[in-house]
Structure 1
């Protein structure tokens, strides 16, 4: 399905290109979880671009956000207003201590891993309060964890957040740009797990010779 929205004035095309997947997936996931004002969600994988977008969106909804992020994004998360903890050993106990109990809802926006049992522990044993973006499969099913494909697509949100990005109120960080011909280099950075932001491929500019009268 192709969905189009104009790029607002003042928004760089590279920054605009970074928005759609992160915005749509984050918005859809928060809607499925029914994240509402006054709630306390825990967002695991806040250093991914879906997680980064979800933290900002959840804060915009008037929630108290607890986030797990690495050092590269921890400072930015705190500057936005999130309470941040590390992924290291003891995360379950730290999150429960910060929340003074089980958080209301949990979003797993991290890469494929074996984290779901820990997230269900943080949820007080209730897997239905956990939603995963990438860790689908038998473990999620056995634990009762929901997945991000339950709801309809939210591409209608891209225009709204593009406007906010143009106004300086939202961003999906861009780490690097590559010419399209260097897509293998971009793929290598992506697979390394150390991109630290969106990777954007730039199409070649096609120059048309001016007409001669």
Structure 2
């Protein structure tokens, strides 16, 4: 699989922790997700099989396969990922997921097939998500390179897509011989712009996402 692995965005994930003598809980950074540059591949209508070929609106549509690489930050030895969710939401409600595929792998090593439970959400909608959980929580998720895959269904006259990236993780930390879990998430989704020609940019925002 040929996709760019250059880091273009890092989403820092925070939880809120109560501090003694502090009136309000404070934000504590727990982990991060780094995203590479997405690649775009046109999908022809004649490549479809089954019911998709019978759609009466095919002449008014275009379809794109988008590959989007991401990496989990490597955690200290006393911490592990017990789950991770990465989500994409498009601003144009006419841009929807025709199909969402489990993450592929852009680095050598064994696949997640037997060690990770993967759920995908959002077919037919402009908001889609990948949920990753280890089959054995005691092992955690490995911080390896993965690639999100989605086939988008959009109007034929659309040339540029805008939307946001977000992420959430459950992180376990060992304290005094036991693991405590906390949910950490990006504070504000990071806005982006993606052209059907593959051009891509992170847009200015007050987000906690950090362009690299």
State the TM bucket, normalised to the shorter chain.
Answer: under 0.3
TM norm structure 1: 0.25
- Which structure shows the higher helix fraction? 1
